[in-house]
Amino acid sequence: MDNMDEMNNPNNSIPFPQDSIMDLPPEENMETETREFSEEESKSIIDDIVALAKKSYKKFEIEYKRHREDRKFFSGQDVYTHDDDISRGADREKSVLNLLNTPFHAIVNSFRKSPYSIRVSSEDSSLNVFVSEASKMIKSIEDNSNYKQVYSQALSDAVAGSRGYLYLSTDEFPDGSANIIINAAQDPTMVIYDASIERGQSFGDAAYAGFIEFIDNETARNKYPKANIPEDDRLSQQPFAINNINAMCSPPSGSTVILNYFEKDYTDPDTVSVNYYKIIGEIIVSYVQFKGLSKIPAAPIYGNEYWEDDKRIYKGIVRDTKESCTIIDYAHSQLKERLSTPTVPFIFCGKTAVEGFFDSDYRDANRSLSPVKRYQDFTSKGEKIDPPSWVSPQYKIDDVAAIISLESSIIESIIGVGIKGIQTAETMKPETATEILQNSNATVNNLTNFYESAKAAITYMGSVIVEILGINQGLDEISMMPLRCTVSDGPELILEKQERRRQLLAMSQIVPDSMKPVILAQIVRTMDLPNAEEIYQMSLRALPDNLKNPNQIPAVIQQKMTQADQQIQQLQAALQQANKAAEDANSKLYTAEMSNANEVLIARMQNENAIRLKLMDGAQGDKEAQNKIMADAIAKRQESENEMKAIRAKMASSIVIDNSKKQPRLVPVPVPAQNSPNPSVENYEAPGGEYVSQ
């Protein structure tokens, strides 16, 4: 292969060309080793495999046994047991209704229609070329493996039984290259899987895995001549030791058992490798060692988890619904037995009433065309006889129908999917719009366990393929590189679309008529139409301008909002001017009031000082005259104080002062102490803490 076009070869053979990924020399291709084994070596390897198979089968024996029972029940086999024959009677009707078939296919077909697909990415730009080419190879591998069918088969094993498996295999070519193929286990109960691995551990921790399959003898003879398959299919093939461990491994006539077995090899202390054996009978017909591969290329898809006797066991939808399905089968059998009884109408009457008319009027009455039916109305003694009555038997089914309906509801609640399948707007029972919006969610959540388990297994298989391709290109540390394997698409997209469409249809019942075109446009996006997006865009263009973009404000409203903003700005400017004028007026008034108050205080102080001087000059005068003068002085002082208080009260009620601005500095003014018997300048204080402007 000399050019990139050969990269997309129809066989997906590896190694793919180095120059399409990186300029690596040929010796950097992935090292694989093939070899022949002696009889003793083969026996030793197979003995080790058988020992691990015994350990694995011992751990999974109960789960595998129930898996086989459940899939038989699901297919309508072994529904009625020997105990049923004893309790019901061996000759009773035995109906078998497979009510699980529809929900099973609803789960699996949703996945088959939109399965997960492996995607590779990296934040390291130096790996962009590798990521691009590896993505193409993985896409080609998936397509050639019929990945939709393979992934769906593994999922269906988990849904109906307990678990399914995915694994990789290779078809080698003479030039040393090989196809990578993604497979589903032919029978999950014939899988040998590492008994030490529990759910929650990485699939990469598994040390071994084996997949037993049946192939027809002709294919075995052509592909694996070393197996020495007899030409006569009636002759038994070589014995296979694993047949003694698991009876399910015994092949049908004309088929051969082949084991695809993987094990980690730690022989080289510097790197982990994976040995891949193909074994038929006691012969290793193919062997490849993938040097540097750190993961076993196999992963399980789990069903629902539960515990039994301190063991973690998995089950599908059959195990929990088997009792209800059996009761429904009983009820339907009862219904068939009732319907098998003839319901020919008959005439109920006494012998005396029809005596003499029986042959002519009443024999084969249900086929008679005569409208007249005669009868004796009186006995020979003149006693009144009741006329014959016509009886039409009817089947009684209400009790049976109620049982079937009840058990069907129980099955739906257990599985999470209705008997009619995944409910859509067309199949859902009638609900009001409010009920639909309140109860929205369930289907996706009910199926999350199955889909998430499938997602984990497929993602892991993608990481193994990437590692194989990276090692093939000489990227020895590929497992440590910042490469990310994810999955895209998936059944959730379908389920979410169905649920979204159902919600939108419910909303269309309660929104105003003007909004219904918007809802309709969104409903179109949930439809599986090849041109759904085109129709959606056309629906948007047909909407009124105010509905095209809910975040865009109409031009008329924008203009009014602009005018309102301008008016608000003008009013704010006028208010600021008015506030400034009021502040200036208040400041002037305050200054004038304070000035008048100071003049009054100064005048009062001057009068009081004059009085004191007179008192001191006339200290020897008449005592009574002095007391009178003092009383007059005190009265005047009290009058001055009252006037001052009135001025302050008036100022406090009429003057608004901006506290953010600097206030006038206030200083105390001395006034005579009220309780001084002989006032002097030294005894003066500011009464009541009075302060005036200076």
Q: Given pLDDT bands bounded at 50, 70 and 90, which one contains residue 592?
A: confident
Mean pLDDT of 200-222: 87
Same domain, 303 and 355: no
In a domain, 433, yes or no: no
Residue bearing the bigger pLDDT, 519 or 2: 519
Residues 315 and 361 in one domain: no
DSSP, collapsed to helix, strand or coil, labels residue 359 as helix
User: How high does pLDDT run on average in the chain?
Assistant: 75
pLDDT at 443: 44
What is the predicted pLDDT for the residue at 605?
Answer: 73
Our measurement of the distance from residue 269's CA atom to the centroid of its chain's CA atoms, rounded to an integer in Å, reads 44
What is the reported pLDDT for 3?
36
pLDDT, tens only, 225-281 = 888 887 766 555 555 555 555 656 777 778 888 899 999 999 888 888 999 999 988
- Taking 70 as the threshold, does the pLDDT of residue 43 lie above it? yes
| Comparison of pLDDT for 449 and 345, the residue scoring more | 449
Decide: helix, strand or coil at residue 327.
helix
What percent of the residues of the chain are helix, what percent strand, and what percent coil, each to the nearest 5? Answer: 50, 15, 30
Query: Could you tell me if residue 308 is left (phi over 0), alpha (psi between -120 and 50 degrees) or otherwise beta?
Result: beta
What is the reported pLDDT for 102? Answer: 87
Write the DSSP symbol of residue 552: S
Q: Where are the alpha helices (DSSP H) in 361-430?
A: 398-415
Rounded mean pLDDT, 87-91 = 85
If asked whether residues 157 and 303 sit together in one domain, one would say: yes
Instruction: Verify that 478 and 596 share a domain, yes or no.
Output: no
On whether both 603 and 463 belong to a single domain, the answer is no
Residue 387 DSSP symbol: P
Greater model confidence, 642 or 268:
268
pLDDT at position 442 is 44
Distance CA 69, CA 44 (A): 35
pLDDT at 609 over 80: no
Host domain of residue 376:
346-393
pLDDT tier at 6 (50, 70, 90 boundaries)?
A: very low
Helix (H) or strand (E) holding 33, with range, is strand 32-33
Residue 590 has pLDDT above 90, yes or no: no
Percentage of residues of the chain with pLDDT beyond 90: 18
Would you say residue 147 lies in a domain?
Answer: yes
In a domain, 31, yes or no: yes
Query: Residue 488: what pLDDT?
Result: 82
pLDDT for 666 beyond 80: no
584 and 685 housed in the same domain = yes
Q: Same structural domain for residues 297 and 357?
A: no
Q: Check: CB of residue 264 under 8 Å from CB of residue 296.
A: yes
Q: With bands split at pLDDT 50, 70 and 90, how would you rate the model's confidence at 680?
A: very low
Where is pLDDT greater, at 639 or 85?
85
What pLDDT digit, counting tens, does each position of 113-139 carry?
A: 888 889 998 888 888 888 898 899 999
Q: Could you report the per-residue pLDDT of 322-339, keeping only the tens digit for each?
A: 999 999 999 999 998 888
| 160 and 75 assigned to the same domain | yes
Higher confidence at residue 252 or residue 552?
252
At 566, is the pLDDT very low, low, confident or very high (cuts 50, 70, 90)? confident
Q: What pLDDT does 88 receive?
A: 84
* More confident call, 250 vs 283: 283
| Pair 381, 489 in one domain | no
pLDDT tens, position by position, 369-387: 666 777 788 888 888 888 8
Q: What is the mean pLDDT of residues 19-44?
A: 56
How many domains is the chain partitioned into structurally? 3
Cα(31)–Cα(122) distance, rounded to whole angstroms? Answer: 25
pLDDT class for 8, splitting at 50, 70, 90?
very low
Tell whether 536 is covered by a domain.
no
Q: Residues 100, 143: one domain?
A: yes
Read off the DSSP letter of residue 362.
Answer: I
Cβ-count burial 604-634 (b if 16+ within 10 Å, e if not): bbeebeebbeebeeeeeeeeeeeeeebeebe
The yes-or-no verdict on residue 693 having pLDDT over 60 is no
- What is the pTM for the complete model shown? 0.64
Q: Does residue 17 lie in a domain region?
A: no
Domain match, 613 and 664 both:
yes
Q: Output the pLDDT for position 454.
A: 92
Give the model's pLDDT for residue 316.
92
Residue 581 pLDDT grade (very low, low, confident, very high; cuts 50, 70, 90)? confident
* 399: in domain: no
Give me the pLDDT at residue 71, please: 92
> What are the tens digits of pLDDT across the range 446-499?
577 888 899 999 999 999 999 888 888 777 677 677 888 888 877 777 667 777
Q: pLDDT > 70: what percent of the chain? A: 71
pLDDT of the residue at 13: 43
Looking at the domain assignment, is residue 512 inside a domain?
A: no
- 157 and 228 in a single domain? The answer is yes
pLDDT tens digits along 141-177: 999 999 999 999 999 999 999 999 999 988 766 666 6
Say what the pLDDT of residue 650 is. Answer: 64
Q: Show the 3-state SS of 264-318.
A: EECCCCCCCEEEEEEEECCEEEEEEEEECCCCCCEEEEECEEEEECCEEEEECHH
Average pLDDT over every residue of 288-300: 90
pLDDT level of residue 661 (50, 70, 90 thresholds)? very low
Segment 276-305 shows an average pLDDT of 89
Assigned domain for 324 exists: no
